Structure 1
Amino acid sequence: MDINQASLQMHYDLNGKIEVISRKKIETREDLSLAYTPGVAEPCRVIARDYEQSFKLTRRSNLVAVITDGTAVLGLGDIGPAAGMPVMEGKCALFKEFADVDAFPLCIDSKDTDTIVQTIALISKSFGGINLEDIAAPRCFEIERRLKEMCDIPVFHDDQHGTAIVVAAALLNAIKVTGKEMGQLRIVINGAGAAGIAIGKHLINMGFGNVILCDINGIICEGDEGLNHGQEEISHISNRNKEHGTLADALENADVFIGVSRPGLVTKEMVASMNRGIVFPLANPTPEIMPDEALAGGAAVVGTGRSDFPNQINNVLVFPGVFKGALSVRAKEITESMKQRASYAIADMIPENELTPENIIPSPLNKAVADVVAKAVADVAVEEGIARI
């Protein structure tokens, strides 16, 4: 049985990967009176007088909503909210398993930006954080921006920022292994959707070097027609030399390739044209180039999104710890500085004497990572004055 059929059978067997467990046993009349009526009226009255007490008297201080509209689910695309539910349940299971953060899946049956924003804003008082997931670009950019303005809790689109944080962590260690110089890198990102744009911004903010984004039409340049808002925004800070051309053109003498696009778009010859390339083909399940081909083309370091190759670059190293840290200090938001500190924290989990081309990123199963990331995020929240406890 292959992994897909085994997973399908597991889902049939489990009939759902998560469940609600009561934190209070209800066995006596007194238990009932304390947990429900009449005693429950008192915490309600306290919260009505002081909103902040809702984080102390309910579970919302440790509760994240994992929300999708089903329009960009894994590599499957727009399959709808119901079909996205297994992924949202999986995300919730990972929150609990890796960071002991409770999470609840919510799938919204709408593609209208206003409806999605209003729906999430209206339910936000039930949660301590909002994790947006698998929402297609460019709509995802506006949804996140507006929710950050409307909500008093952290809003984080993991497909954007979780991916960016973990890619940067892997790249920090890859440049150590290869001896490349921070700030001097030529970085090519193929795929100018939510993940690609967020990775580009994050790497530019961290000072890695010149980032060149490519989409189906080739290199994106400031002034190009037909760019969506996210692409237009990043065009002002990327592609410093205003280059035009194909993906193959962009990869000539490039130091880094990051793929968040489609299988088979990169050839061994393209990798050979790079400068001892760091190659991260992250399309799943089939990457832009298979690792053996990339290595045959002269790649110095290769990382993918898959668990059956070295250097699995996986968001599970990011989102549990980011939310755990933000929730622990009741941070108002997740800032750029938090994201950067998280990248460094993940990278530092591999001691320098253990760094090799096949070991640049912690295993996604390393549960110590979440606490390290959480501390980094919480520390920045305190330093920036946005922690509320």
Structure 2
Amino acid sequence: MPTDLKQAALDYHANPKPGKIAIEITKPTATQRDLSLAYTPGVAEPVRAIQLDRELAYRYTAKGNLVAVITNGTAVLGLGDTGALAGKPVMEGKVVLFKAFAGIDAFDIEVDTHDPDIFIDTVARIASGFGGINLEDIAAPHCFRIERELRERLDIPVFHDDQHGTAVIISAGLINALRIAGKRIEDARIVCLGAGAAGLASMHLLTTLGARREHILMVDRQGVIRADDQHANEYQRIFAAHTDRHTLAEACVGADVFVGVSGPNLLTAEMLSSMAENPIVFALANPDPEIDPSLALATRSDVIMATGRTDYPNQINNVLGFPYIFRGALDVHARSINDAMLTAAVHALADLAHQPVPDSVLKAYGLDALSFGRDYFIPKPFDPRLIDVVPAAIARAAADSGAARTAPGA
């Protein structure tokens, strides 16, 4: 990062007051009567009501619009294990995005432990006051167990955005990219470089959308994860392939899709050249992708490409997903965020990219025109239609799948 931008980032977080968030009071506190209702003695009435019926917490408290953004700081951005406190600026940033894009209130919570049992127990004990839990920046493989056990213990949505938020946006983009390439997801041969939280969750969601597990090759630092190789962990073994291919270069030969959630400059021009016609490349490492887009386009004029960066077309950005997924889940007091709801988000995002683009989006990005095609197959983060389209799809899917406590629009 340029020196001037580094200082600007520090100044942004420090001034005019430290941090990025504050608390807003939603009820009047101007008179003695106001205080008697807000606190003693009036507050005893909702306490008694909730004691008799826990569901009334959605009516009498902020629970129904409140999310906890929780980390242990073991996988903060691309910075690694920074510790819980150093992860706080990122968690505050997530809180800002929840509020700015979906009107959701959120608190950031940093749990200072590397022990997954302590983390799980801590989160479970504080969860009842929230409408949902957004897990963030927790290293694999502990993140998988943490999410699974919290989902089993809690009756509110538990969502690891690094897994499922990323998976939703990748899947929505890939559905449309395959359409542009003239290919079916059932036939697509997919290489995923990066077998951590984002890669595994994305491949799982793609299989629910029709991708065939036998057509997926997962690749980590040691090469293709194969059935005859024991280096993979229990979560990676789900995608262990029966193949004689060992390296990334071998995996790319004839592949229709490359998804990179790994590191910079790992996909070479030679590897791209070996892929099938109309290759789809999602090079999502930030800030430097697995292959530079200019090199990719110089190598293959038929490449269909997405990155994680704002300065290239087709940005795979989680802000397209998690605020709206939680908005829809909270609106129906959902007990969980399940595969049906994630699939609904995928299709809502994919379908939106086919619609005419509002003038406000063109203005925000300094564009004269934008329409579905190779340079636009995933909506832009500032598209004002997202808040109407995605939460509604989530809420319907929650109701249809039995995850909702209340009906959409109730």
Same fold flag (TM > 0.5): yes
Alignment partner, residue 67 of structure 2: 64
| Stretch of structure 1 that moved more, 48-57 or 220-229 | 220-229
Q: Provide the rounded CA distance (Å) in 2 between the counterparts of 1:289 and 1:355.
A: 24
2:193 touches 2:261 (CA, 8 Å); kept in 1? yes
Q: Secondary structure of the residue that 1:348 maps to in structure 2?
A: helix
Alignment partner, residue 186 of structure 1: 189
Q: Secondary structure of the residue that 1:67 maps to in structure 2?
A: strand
Alignment partner, residue 174 of structure 2: 171
Alignment partner, residue 307 of structure 1: 310
Q: Secondary structure of the residue that 1:376 maps to in structure 2?
A: helix
- Normalising by structure 1, report the TM-score: 0.96
The alignment yields a C-alpha RMSD, in angstroms, of 1.3
1:218 to 211, 223, 228: 223
Alignment partner, residue 82 of structure 1: 85
2:325 to 322, 325, 338: 322
Residue 274 (structure 2) pairs with residue 273 (structure 1): yes
Q: 1:171-225 CA distances to partner (integer Å, 9 max, x unpaired)?
A: 1111121212231101110000111111111111211342111000111112421
Aligned-residue sequence identity (percent) comes to 50
Q: Provide the rounded CA distance (Å) in 1 between the counterparts of 2:225 and 2:4.
A: 39
1:220 touches 1:244 (CA, 8 Å); kept in 2? no
Q: Provide the rounded CA distance (Å) in 1 between the counterparts of 2:167 and 2:343.
A: 9
Q: Secondary structure of the residue that 2:263 maps to in structure 1?
A: coil
Q: Secondary structure of the residue that 2:25 maps to in structure 1?
A: coil
Q: 1:64-92 CA distances to partner (integer Å, 9 max, x unpaired)?
A: 00000000011111001111111100111
Q: CA deviation at 1:352?
A: 6.5
Q: Provide the rounded CA distance (Å) in 1 between the counterparts of 2:310 and 2:8.
A: 16
Alignment partner, residue 109 of structure 1: 112
Q: Provide the rounded CA distance (Å) in 2 between the counterparts of 1:99 and 1:11.
A: 22
Q: CA deviation at 1:2?
A: 4.5
1:232 to 237, 248, 260: 237
Residue 400 (structure 2) pairs with residue 383 (structure 1): yes
Q: 1:84-137 CA distances to partner (integer Å, 9 max, x unpaired)?
A: 111100111000111101111001000101100000000011100000000000
Alignment partner, residue 258 of structure 1: 259
Q: CA deviation at 1:60?
A: 0.6
Q: Provide the rounded CA distance (Å) in 2 between the counterparts of 1:140 and 1:109.
A: 15
Q: Which runs of 5+ in 2 are unaligned?
A: 357-370
1:341 touches 1:376 (CA, 8 Å); kept in 2? yes
Alignment partner, residue 288 of structure 1: 290
| Stretch of structure 1 that moved more, 43-52 or 137-146 | 43-52
Q: Provide the rounded CA distance (Å) in 2 between the counterparts of 1:51 and 1:234.
A: 41
Aligned length: 385
Structure 2 counterpart of 1:370, which letter? I
1:98 touches 1:367 (CA, 8 Å); kept in 2? no
| Stretch of structure 1 that moved more, 97-106 or 174-183 | 174-183
1:204 touches 1:211 (CA, 8 Å); kept in 2? no
1:345 to 345, 348, 357: 348
Residue 102 (structure 2) pairs with residue 99 (structure 1): yes
Q: Secondary structure of the residue that 2:352 maps to in structure 1?
A: coil
Alignment partner, residue 245 of structure 2: 244
Alignment partner, residue 361 of structure 2: none
Alignment partner, residue 151 of structure 2: 148
1:318 touches 1:370 (CA, 8 Å); kept in 2? no
2:116 touches 2:146 (CA, 8 Å); kept in 1? yes
1:281 touches 1:304 (CA, 8 Å); kept in 2? yes
Q: 1:25-71 CA distances to partner (integer Å, 9 max, x unpaired)?
A: 21110111011111111111111111111111100101000000000
Q: Provide the rounded CA distance (Å) in 1 between the counterparts of 2:399 and 2:139.
A: 33
| Stretch of structure 1 that moved more, 287-296 or 349-358 | 349-358
Q: CA deviation at 1:368?
A: 2.2
Q: 1:124-162 CA distances to partner (integer Å, 9 max, x unpaired)?
A: 111000000000000000000000000010100000000
- Normalising by structure 2, report the TM-score: 0.91
| Stretch of structure 1 that moved more, 313-322 or 369-378 | 369-378
Structure 2 counterpart of 1:221, which letter? R
Q: 1:216-249 CA distances to partner (integer Å, 9 max, x unpaired)?
A: 01111124212112112333xxx3x534310111
1:99 touches 1:371 (CA, 8 Å); kept in 2? no
Alignment partner, residue 365 of structure 2: none
Q: 1:263-310 CA distances to partner (integer Å, 9 max, x unpaired)?
A: 111111111111121111101111111111111121521111110111
1:187 touches 1:256 (CA, 8 Å); kept in 2? yes
Q: 1:2-40 CA distances to partner (integer Å, 9 max, x unpaired)?
A: 443322221121411111100012111011101111111
Q: Provide the rounded CA distance (Å) in 1 between the counterparts of 2:298 and 2:255.
A: 17
Q: Provide the rounded CA distance (Å) in 1 between the counterparts of 2:196 and 2:31.
A: 55
Q: Provide the rounded CA distance (Å) in 2 between the counterparts of 1:243 and 1:101.
A: 49
Q: Provide the rounded CA distance (Å) in 1 between the counterparts of 2:388 and 2:228.
A: 43
Structure 2 counterpart of 1:388, which letter? R
Alignment partner, residue 5 of structure 1: 7
Q: Provide the rounded CA distance (Å) in 2 between the counterparts of 1:160 and 1:152.
A: 20
* Alpha-carbon distance change, 202 to 252 in structure 1, aligned in 2, over 3 angstroms: same
Residue 160 (structure 2) pairs with residue 157 (structure 1): yes
